[in-house]
Structure 1
Amino acid sequence: MNNFLYSGFEFKEDEDLLGFKFKMINSILVIVALFSTLVGILSDLGISDIGPIHSKVNYVYGIFSVMLIFLLRSSKTYYKKVANALLIASLITFTSALILVPQDEFRIIWFYLLIFVAYILNGSASGLLFTIASLGVILSVHLLSDLQLSQLAINTSVLGLIIGSFLSRFYTNKISDYENSLQQKNAALHVLASTDDLTGIMNRRLFGEVSKRYFETAQRDNLPLSLLLFDLDHFKKVNDTYGHQTGDLLLIRFAEAIKSYLRKSDIVARVGGEEFAVLLFETDMEGAFILAEKIRTLVESITIDHEGEKVFVTTSIGIAQHREGDKAFNAIYARADKALYLAKGRGRNRTCCDPLAGDGTQMPVHRFNVTLSESQE
């Protein structure tokens, strides 16, 4: 049943309101199709006479509603068009009842329903528009023909429509404000949930989602994709010796150093305490190695002053490239992690590539002495 009310579409978390509107409009269309047809049948059977013309109008109204149900299943973008078509068809049908069914003393009540639905489906502007249209129809028909309603009944109906429209508008605006506020809060929560709060770059959770999409694109289009894994050398010793505040400043400066060399298509994330990852789209192993060396060299120049001492660290880097036989991004990550482990095992402050590269080659390995701080030389 839900599949029918959603018109066969799936709605994301940020489309909750649109999904609700689809359920609402489909429910209304079903009700209109069933009851307008039923009213026409009852009239033809002489049980509830509404006249032959208005009876046919109800049949058309019902058939048109069924057509709108199928049209809505074509695309999510058709919602607005379908909602407007339903409201216009309803206005015409209710106008027909106002003119052709004088024996129904309560027929003006349908316009109240029309205005309320307009506010619910399309918002304040639409509700106000159909309020004006309904008032115009009632007053015009009253002046041009005999509705067989007293002036008091007309006045009360008009006043009731205006008050109902005002309340519906107030309610709709308040709901809209809540919706906007909720969307802003959800957006803020999404940023918090996907961003490392210290460095401001992507966190591991979002990196996993984005890297999966990059991997799928690389597989589909046979494009090179390289991964760099960074680990700050002896970072625990920095924290133990100089405190976490100094360590945090180094992490922030390190993230800034990485970002300074990246393109818009590249992504960087903090995937652990002192571990970072960079994913390079349309970049082969050689290009990744050149970039890694630039970053590694730049990191050597980063210093933090701590009580007269200059504190700095180096970084070890592991690189791996996407292969044709990879089934998931985790395969690249595992190879880059092995290359990083190799770099650390060979003395740190160096860049090592996947030792099992598909072409059997290995980029050069650079060796440097690692210095924690000038005071510990």
Structure 2
Amino acid sequence: MNINNFLHSGFKFTDDENLLQFKFKMLNSIFIIVAFFSALFGLLSDLSINDIGPIHSKVNYVYSFLTIMLIFFLRSSKTNYNLTAYALLIISLITFTSSLIFVPQDEFRMIWFYLLVFVAYMISGKMSGLFFTLASIVVILTVNFFVDMQLSQVAINSGILGLIIGSFLSSIYTNKITDYENSLKQQNSSLSLLASTDYLTGIMNRRMFNEISERYFQTAQKNEFCLTLLLLDLDHFKKVNDTYGHQAGDQLLKRFVETLERILNKSDIFARIGGEEFGILLSQVSSADAYILAEQIRKEIENDFMTYEGQDIRVTISIGISENRKTDTAFENIFSRADMALYKAKEEGRNKTCYVGSSNDDLHCPNSIIDNNVPNYSI
């Protein structure tokens, strides 16, 4: 078995589960260490090499066995992490309590509680660390009240004070790590948003559009329903930049996006493909219905204008439409046909909507105009 596979409990983790993946790896590493060394202590005692007494020797064997069982329990579900971590801490507390009672010859046995507190902070967080700090102090004081631990009161007081100091330092460290984790999550979220969003218009960029479109395509082909793509290109947009400047061009693009967002449904996939080219992906909408939407958009843009520094700026758009086919093997097939239709619309004089028919040579560019008798696009 691959060691990483074992440490991850056999689970696959997504990109947003990096922290959980690290916790699984850390907890499994602790299990291995605990199971090995607790069994080793029991074996060394049975061989009279490191005498910890017959009772605590058996407790160590049980400790090792339970830890191994926790490994299998953790592998049964990702949601078992917290429960497994608490179980480890509890049986560790019981085992270390056993050492206080049954191994009086070990003057340094309180050191195990320091380790318990640190691990509690590390694998379960601040509240768990505080709880096991308090539990360790209560155990030490209680055992000392009922059993002669053969330790001086100074040693016991120093041990408890050391636990408090260690818990305080571990708490500070845990708080810093938690702040760092939260900051890292926010940064990753921001980076993810930047990676999927067009910086100018705020809508989806081509990278994300391609990823989502491919998923939609696979679902559409599997379930045999319509998937239609509209490619839109602003006509003579370069002239706007050359005449009025790039700032005017940027404002025009933003206005164009705002206009389309008022027309489109929230379920429609809308993205900036690049420059002045945009894409709209419509799920379970035929090319015939998409044509109605395209013409509605085209006329809306044709009748719209933007005033910039006292000048009215108008723009038109050309649109290419393509629907999925049973023979398509990738979303790129639909995109290529829509691009052909867009090129045809440009070739026909722009400010047109063209669509691909049953074959790639079957290109149509009707001269239909949206009027009051045509219902608004709606699903």
Whole-angstrom CA distance in 1 between matches of 2:290 and 2:136: 67
- The match for 1:365 is 366
Whole-angstrom CA distance in 1 between matches of 2:31 and 2:309: 74
User: RMSD of the alignment, in Å?
Assistant: 1.7
CA deviation map 1:132-160 (0-9, x unaligned): 11111111111121111110000000000
- The match for 1:26 is 28
SS of 1:271's partner is strand
Whole-angstrom CA distance in 1 between matches of 2:275 and 2:365: 28
Contact 2:341–2:363, Cα closer than 8 Å, also in 1: no
Deviates more, 1:171-180 or 1:277-286: 277-286
- The match for 2:320 is 318
- The match for 2:175 is 173
Whole-angstrom CA distance in 2 between matches of 1:147 and 1:259: 75
- Runs (5+) with no aligned partner, structure 1: 369-377
Contact 2:229–2:322, Cα closer than 8 Å, also in 1: yes
- The match for 1:215 is 217
- The match for 1:298 is 300
Whole-angstrom CA distance in 1 between matches of 2:359 and 2:170: 66
2:266 aligned with 1:261: no
CA deviation map 1:283-335 (0-9, x unaligned): 11122111111111111122111343311101111111122221111111111
Whole-angstrom CA distance in 2 between matches of 1:367 and 1:221: 32
Whole-angstrom CA distance in 1 between matches of 2:67 and 2:310: 79
Mapping 1:96-175, distance limit 5 Å:
96-175=98-177
- The match for 1:372 is none
CA shift, 1:362, in A, is 6.6
Whole-angstrom CA distance in 1 between matches of 2:114 and 2:64: 20
Mapping 1:50-69, distance limit 5 Å:
50-69=52-71
Question: Per the alignment, do residues 30 and 307 of structure 1 end up closer, same or farther by CA in structure 2, a change over 3 Å counting?
Answer: closer
- What residue identity is the alignment partner of 2:96? F
Question: Per the alignment, do residues 162 and 307 of structure 1 end up closer, same or farther by CA in structure 2, a change over 3 Å counting?
Answer: closer
Question: Per the alignment, do residues 307 and 42 of structure 1 end up closer, same or farther by CA in structure 2, a change over 3 Å counting?
Answer: closer
2:88 aligned with 1:86: yes
SS of 1:146's partner is coil
- Aligned residues: percent identity? 62
Contact 1:318–1:351, Cα closer than 8 Å, also in 2: yes
CA shift, 1:166, in A, is 0.3
- What residue identity is the alignment partner of 1:159? L
- What residue identity is the alignment partner of 2:76? S
Whole-angstrom CA distance in 1 between matches of 2:308 and 2:125: 59
Whole-angstrom CA distance in 2 between matches of 1:233 and 1:14: 41
CA deviation map 1:254-283 (0-9, x unaligned): 111121122222111101100000111121
Mapping 1:204-243, distance limit 5 Å:
204-243=206-245
- The match for 1:2 is 4
- What residue identity is the alignment partner of 2:352? R
CA shift, 1:237, in A, is 1.1
Count of matched residue positions in the alignment of Structure 1 and Structure 2: 367
SS of 1:84's partner is helix
CA shift, 1:357, in A, is 5.1
2:276 aligned with 1:274: yes
Whole-angstrom CA distance in 2 between matches of 1:68 and 1:292: 60
Contact 2:228–2:283, Cα closer than 8 Å, also in 1: yes
- The match for 1:335 is 337
SS of 1:227's partner is strand
SS of 1:253's partner is helix
SS of 2:263's partner is coil
CA shift, 1:39, in A, is 1.2
CA shift, 1:361, in A, is 7.7
- What residue identity is the alignment partner of 2:185? Q
Deviates more, 1:12-21 or 1:110-119: 12-21
Q: Which runs of 4+ in 1 moved over 3 A?
A: 355-358, 360-364
- The match for 2:202 is 200
CA shift, 1:223, in A, is 2.3
- The match for 1:35 is 37
SS of 2:320's partner is strand
SS of 2:12's partner is coil
CA shift, 1:220, in A, is 2.4
Whole-angstrom CA distance in 1 between matches of 2:279 and 2:8: 40
Contact 1:44–1:55, Cα closer than 8 Å, also in 2: yes
Contact 2:248–2:308, Cα closer than 8 Å, also in 1: yes
Q: Please give the TM-score of this superposition, normalised by the length of structure 1.
A: 0.93
Contact 2:24–2:81, Cα closer than 8 Å, also in 1: yes
2:281 aligned with 1:286: no
